[in-house]
């Protein structure tokens, strides 16, 4: 497993994965903190394409990511992650919207749990999922980071279906 840190407007992000495949993004705060394990190899030249695309996103020049990724999870979690990738830039969805999208309308809480385990936040836009009442809900990088990302996308707290 290779890793490197990159600066970002939401703090220092950890990028990690096999040599050329992004498998995780970790935040510096919140429940999304990832610490390198002893057998991981720091390589400051790894994940250059991911760094470039994240910088373009933060600069307002990119709305979609085109990266070689390997998200991990159960088949249910991976179906949630796939649905998250369908949320257009600048829009939000509720957990119920995602549950319905994957054909499991009663699995709202399970969708929330899968969303919270997203190993590739920002790139797989779990920040675009909000509460049914339009409020911000939990985010691995903390609510200030989620708010920043939604503001960057000019979403605010509106809900678009």
The residues annotated with a catalytic role in the active site are 126
- Around Cβ 35, how many Cβ atoms within 10 Å? 8
Residue whose token pair is 């979609």: 64
Strand positions, DSSP E, the chain: 2-6, 13-17, 24-26, 41-42, 93-94, 129-130
DSSP 99-116: HHHTT-TT-HHHHHHHHH
Q: Which residues pair with 94 in a beta bridge?
A: 130
């Amino acid at each position: 497993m290779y890793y490197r840190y990159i600066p970002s407007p939401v703090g220092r992000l950890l990028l990690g994965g096999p040599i050329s495949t992004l498998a995780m993004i970790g935040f510096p705060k919140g429940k999304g903190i990832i610490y390198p394990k002893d057998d991981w190899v720091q390589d400051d030249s790894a994940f250059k394409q991911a760094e470039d695309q994240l910088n373009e996103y933060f600069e307002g020049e990119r709305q979609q990511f085109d990266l070689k990724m390997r998200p991990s999870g159960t088949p249910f979690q991976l179906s949630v992650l796939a649905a998250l990738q369908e949320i257009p830039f600048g829009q939000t969805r509720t957990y119920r919207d995602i549950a319905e999208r994957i054909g499991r309308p009663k699995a709202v809480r399970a969708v929330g749990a899968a969303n919270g385990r997203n190993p590739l936040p920002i790139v797989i836009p779990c920040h675009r999922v909000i509460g049914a009442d339009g409020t911000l809900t939990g985010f691995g990088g903390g609510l200030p980071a989620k708010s920043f990302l939604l503001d960057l996308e000019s979403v605010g707290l509106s809900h678009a279906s």
